């Protein structure tokens, strides 16, 4: 009983962190990257502003790294232990649940690689600027990897919004769940466009 209750709260926390603050950080990060579509100077200015935030390392750990670590570790646990709810949700929803798990694992891998290529390099003394990202995505293998993983991240976020609202009791009726399925699709398309256009701008 206690284990079941703990799982309930752990899943609630996992769901909440996926939207706040991780989802918010994702949107801010992509919008900063999207400044590259306005040119090298615009991106460097936006990136420089983010780097100038007071107590940046503390903020990154509290708002980004710790929530992402918990969400990722518990998410991997869910991915390899959860089963489809065939009797409770439709076949479509179960496919979405499967894709949520797959994209979650891809997102975990991508975040680790992206952190190594950018934040860790910054800690080693390299400047995070337009040229750094340009050098990364100029490699065709990296470019394909980034685009595929970006689509995985944006799907995971958009579909995760649906799961979050169901988990927290906002979407209770079947009709509301069906309507928000379309809303989450729009979110996926819009956020994917922002992200991919930013990646291509670095070329």
DSSP state of 64: I
Does the annotation list 77 as a binding residue? Answer: no
Does the annotation list 29 as a binding residue? Answer: yes
Helix 66-81 to helix 22-34 angle, to the nearest 10 degrees? 110
Are 16 and 172 in contact by the 8 Å Cβ rule? The answer is no
Cα–Cα dist 97/159, whole Å: 9
Cα–Cα dist 117/136, whole Å: 8
The owner of tokens 């309930």 is: 8
Tell me, rounded to whole angstroms, the distance of Cα 80 from its chain centroid.
Answer: 19
Does the annotation list 156 as a binding residue? Answer: yes
Nearest to 104 by CA among 55, 163, 59: 163
Does the annotation list 114 as a binding residue? Answer: yes
Name the binding residues: 29, 71, 114, 156
Tell me the binding residues for heme: 29, 71, 114, 156
């Amino acid at each position: 009983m206690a284990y079941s209750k703990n799982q309930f709260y752990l899943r609630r926390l996992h769901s909440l962190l996926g939207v706040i603050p991780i989802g918010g950080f994702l949107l801010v990060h992509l919008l900063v990257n999207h400044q590259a579509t306005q040119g090298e100077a615009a991106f460097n200015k936006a990136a420089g502003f983010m780097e100038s935030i007071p107590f940046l390392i503390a903020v990154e750990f509290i708002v980004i790294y710790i929530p992402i670590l918990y969400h990722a570790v518990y998410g991997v646990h869910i991915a390899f232990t959860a089963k489809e709810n065939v009797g409770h949700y439709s076949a479509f929803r179960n496919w979405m649940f499967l894709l949520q798990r797959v994209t979650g694992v891809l997102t975990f891998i991508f975040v680790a690689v992206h952190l190594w290529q950018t934040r860790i390099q910054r800690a080693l003394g390299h400047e995070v600027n337009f040229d750094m990202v340009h050098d990364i995505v100029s490699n065709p293998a990296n470019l394909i990897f980034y685009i595929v993983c970006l689509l995985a991240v944006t799907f995971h976020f958009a579909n995760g919004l649906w799961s979050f609202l169901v988990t927290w009791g906002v979407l209770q009726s079947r009709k509301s769940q069906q309507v928000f399925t379309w809303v989450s699709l729009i979110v996926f398309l819009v956020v994917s466009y922002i992200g991919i256009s930013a990646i291509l701008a670095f070329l």
